[in-house]
Amino acid sequence: MNAPTPGRLILAATPIGNAEDASPRLRRLLAEAEVIAAEDTRRLRALAARVEVEITGRVLSHHEHNEQATVGELLAAVAAGSTVLVVSDAGMPAVSDPGFRAVAAAVAAGLPVTAVPGPSAVLTALALSGLPTDRFCFEGFAPRKAGERARSFALLAREPRTMVFFEAPHRLAAMLADLRDALGADRPAAVARELTKTYEEVRRGTLGELTAWATEGEVRGEIAVVVGGAPDVVEVSEAALVAEVLARVDAGDRLKEAVAEVAQAAGVAKRELYAASLAARGRA
């Protein structure tokens, strides 16, 4: 008896705010797919109602806390010949949302994988920021703990590409302050809020200006932060260099090696940076 022809695993981008951004292909697949893996099943059904689509397939909960456990079930359905649609709450699955593990497992198993392109908060924020778009990197959500966040940003002080982050509204002011301290108050940036929704706002300025704005009052909604890359010549404070050294040490580098590499890249004296790093390490 011949094995069944495998179906497909399809990553489908969903609207990031405006339901009118749902593509005809997304609508068709929502109606036709035998299995739909959704980050939030209630939001999926709300989206289907807004785009006037009746879901007839089996709906599975597939989120960051159960993704690893549900991948096997999704792949079994694909192997049996089903079309399995993977959707997140908004935007493209696998980009700071569930989906990566399913794709990696499908590729390893030799099963067909494709995507339905569409809305992306990363690209929308980048395009609206007014900052260079020829080279960029996506950094996702910054670490929640202040110390880890500061060390993470210190490693980005000399990143030449435009950077895109996501952030929760209640952490925005602290995040911007840490970016300002690590990258400099004059670094150009933009905060994009509620993209494609009724109260869409893109606030542009320097990190110093945006930090002051975010600190003045409560900022609400879903937020993306876009930061310009480092100029060809950038002066970095000793505190930022020390933070970069300590971040490298936390990642497994030896202190002397981390100091040597950071000092050479920044054009500063190794001895002074080593002493400052030792002192900061003692205070930590």
Q: Place domain 122-227 in its CATH homologous superfamily.
A: Tetrapyrrole methylase, C-terminal domain (3.30.950.10)
pLDDT tens-place values along the chain, 284 residues long: 566 788 999 999 999 999 999 999 999 999 999 999 999 999 999 999 999 999 999 999 998 888 888 999 999 999 999 999 999 999 999 998 889 999 999 999 999 999 999 999 999 999 999 999 999 999 999 999 988 998 899 889 889 999 999 999 999 999 999 999 999 999 999 999 999 999 999 999 999 999 999 999 889 999 999 999 998 755 677 888 888 888 888 888 888 988 988 888 777 888 888 888 888 887 75
Which residue, among 214, 237, 241, 239, has the nearest Cα to 225 in the 3D structure?
A: 214
What the block records as the tokens of 166 is: 């996501």
Q: Would you kindly state where each structural domain of the chain is located, as residue ranges?
A: 8-119, 122-227, 238-283
What the block records as the tokens of 233 is: 């010549």
Looking at residue 278, what is its pLDDT?
85
Q: Which residues contact 235 (CB under 8 A, 6 or more apart)?
A: 184
CATH fold, domain 8-119, is: Cobalt-precorrin-4 Transmethylase; domain 1 (3.40.1010)
Yes or no: say if 85 and 29 are a contact pair by the CB < 8 Å rule: yes
pTM here? 0.80
What the block records as the tokens of 4 is: 């069944």
Looking at residue 86, what is its pLDDT?
97
Looking at residue 237, what is its pLDDT?
77
Looking at residue 284, what is its pLDDT?
57
